[in-house]
Amino acid sequence: MDKKVSQLLNDQINKELYSAYLYLDMANFYSAKGLDGFANWYEIQAKEEQDHAMLMYRYLHNNNQTVTLEAVAKPDKTFAELSDPLKAAYEHEQYVTSLIGAIYAAAQEAHDYRTIQFLDWFVKEQGEEEKNASDLITKMELFGGDAKGLYMLNSELGARVYSAPSLVL
């Protein structure tokens, strides 16, 4: 495996774990506000990010690459309004999409077709993540200002269940 591609994937493991921390922080915010459905949504997001890190971890090991685990930074966002975490999550997913794109470009440059195929799933996943984050903002803008609407949205988000990714390494 190309050294640059391997290093970018290794770095991405840390960034995925940071994403999990960030989403747990968002869950904390919503829990403190009494919005357990929103908290549930972001707890599941955190689990997904941990899974993404583990997929990359396993992929590197399966390709005889050394994985170096770094310290995970403390989330640096502060939230005041109920919509703040939603907006921050959308911006964060756009950032993660750019990171995956950079790894993909490096793999293409190195003609690392196995890694390109591995990353195809992440490219698709990031499209879904950005859409979900954008949809939550739209729903909050439409319904969040009304107590009954907020209650229904909270109930909808509380019904989300975790399902592990089915990516074959």
| Per-residue model confidence as pLDDT tens digits over 19-67 | 999 999 999 999 999 999 999 999 999 999 999 999 999 999 999 999 9
Residue 167, both tokens = 């990516």
Instruction: Give the mean pLDDT of 95-117.
Output: 98
Instruction: Give the mean pLDDT of 134-157.
Output: 96
Predicted pLDDT of residue 25: 98
HSE at residue 60, side-chain half, CA atoms within 13 A, is 22
Predicted pLDDT of residue 167: 64
Predicted pLDDT of residue 165: 79
Predicted pLDDT of residue 163: 87
User: For the chain, how many helices (H) and strands (E)?
Assistant: 5, 0
Quote the pTM value.
Answer: 0.94
